[in-house]
Amino acid sequence: MNEDTEILYHTGELDARLRHEAEVAEAVAPDRHISARFGETLLQLTDVTMRFGGLTALDRVSFGIRRGEILGLIGPNGAGKTTCFNAMSGVYRPTSGQVLLEGKPLGKSSRHGITQLGIARTFQNIRLFGEMTALENVVVGADARAKTSVLGALLRLPRHHREEQEAVDRAMALLEFVGIADRAADKAKNLPYGYQRRLEIARALATEPKLLCLDEPAAGFNPAEKEELMQLIRKIRADGYTVLLIEHDMKLVMGVTDRIVVLEFGKKIAEGLPAEIRENPAVIAAYLGVPDDDVA
Ligand SMILES: Nc1ncnc2c1ncn2[C@@H]1O[C@H](COP(=O)(O)OP(=O)(O)OP(=O)(O)O)[C@@H](O)[C@H]1O
Ligand SMILES: [Mg+2]
């Protein structure tokens, strides 16, 4: 809960709904040990190059993500946005360059290792365990950080029992936080598309990340759903998270981000405040040919 909320909370001025939200938020993020202070660089990419055979998907890309901000990562199709996530989350090891989290190189950390270090992501194409319930998907997500295994919990070994209950409670709080608790017991594959996107976010949050990376979370959404998603992203940030957002919809990006980095053909072509990016000639040129309703 942020300071403002806390003050209201203690003076009893918070209405029931807000108090409930604050309690949910607190359950979602009990404690995070992040050495970067708010506004300081949390993650830094330095001269990151990623080659696939003859193709240079990222060409000496450098930018920082500050703790507490929502940073937009935009660019036309094939610009290298997802590759950037992959290079930051251990899916690929950069051909050259460095990714530093709180000043420490990710180096050769595995995907699992990077989750434990505190970077979580969602995928452009939804990746859920379709046969598991929404709740189970989140419990499994949390297990990427937990000391004991899901297997241990499933076998109901006594020492796992308390942890198991805590994991379930926390997963439930996360489902409530993203607004899909009413379908907790449904198989992921039976959830409406918008719920699946939110479930992915809940699962990523379950790892208590220092940095949450969202790869086109609003893809396929109608305007009303996009507006709701923007509200969720703001709520996530208000809860103290740092967010990196890949998104094609300019209205959404401009409306929710604090700063924006623009890629084109694997190179960073601009970085700045949304208002600056909107006016930037190189960015406008990069988006020429994109239908008006995407640029609006
Ligand atoms: N594993 C891979 N092997 C070969 N080429 C790849 C691989 N991953 C990405 N690429 C190429 O790298 C370039 C950047 O792809 P990337 O998926 O990062 O773009 P993007 O900005 O996320 O695009 P989109 O908006 O369409 O999602 C593309 O030319 C893509 O074909
Ligand atoms: Mg992509």
Q: How far is the CA of 78 from the centre of ligand 2 (A)?
A: 7
Class of domain 126-208: alpha beta
Atom 24 of ligand 1, residue of closest alpha carbon? 77
pTM score: 0.84
Ligand 1 pocket check for 286: Cβ under 6 Å: no
Atom 25 of ligand 1, residue of closest alpha carbon? 77
Domain boundaries along the sequence of the chain: 34-118+213-291, 126-208
Highest mean pLDDT among 22-31, 83-92, 185-194: 185-194
> pLDDT value at position 34?
83
Q: What is the mean pLDDT of the chain?
A: 85
> pLDDT value at position 38?
83
Say yes or no: do domains 34-118+213-291 and 126-208 share a fold.
yes
Q: Dihedral of CA 29/35/37/39: which sign?
A: negative
pLDDT in tens, 213-231: 999 999 999 999 999 999 9
Ligand 1 pocket check for 78: Cβ under 6 Å: yes
Look at 147 and 104; give whichever has higher pLDDT: 104
- State yes or no: pLDDT of 135 exceeds 50: yes
Atom 5 of ligand 1, residue of closest alpha carbon? 52
pLDDT in tens, 153-197: 566 666 667 777 888 899 999 999 999 999 999 999 999 999 999
14-28, 62-76, 178-192 — which is least confidently predicted? 14-28
Fold designation for 34-118+213-291: Rossmann fold (3.40.50)
Q: How far is the CA of 58 from the centre of ligand 2 (A)?
A: 13
27-36, 151-160, 253-262 — which is least confidently predicted? 151-160
> pLDDT value at position 87?
93
Q: Dihedral of CA 228/229/232/238: which sign?
A: negative
Ligand 1 pocket check for 247: Cβ under 6 Å: no
Look at 65 and 7; give whichever has higher pLDDT: 65
118 sits in the region (left: phi over 0; alpha: psi -120 to 50; else beta) called left
Q: Characterize the bridge pairing of strands 211-215 and 96-101.
A: unpaired
The closest-lying atom of ligand 1 relative to the alpha carbon of residue 266 is 14
The closest-lying atom of ligand 1 relative to the alpha carbon of residue 53 is 4
Atom 2 of ligand 1, residue of closest alpha carbon? 52
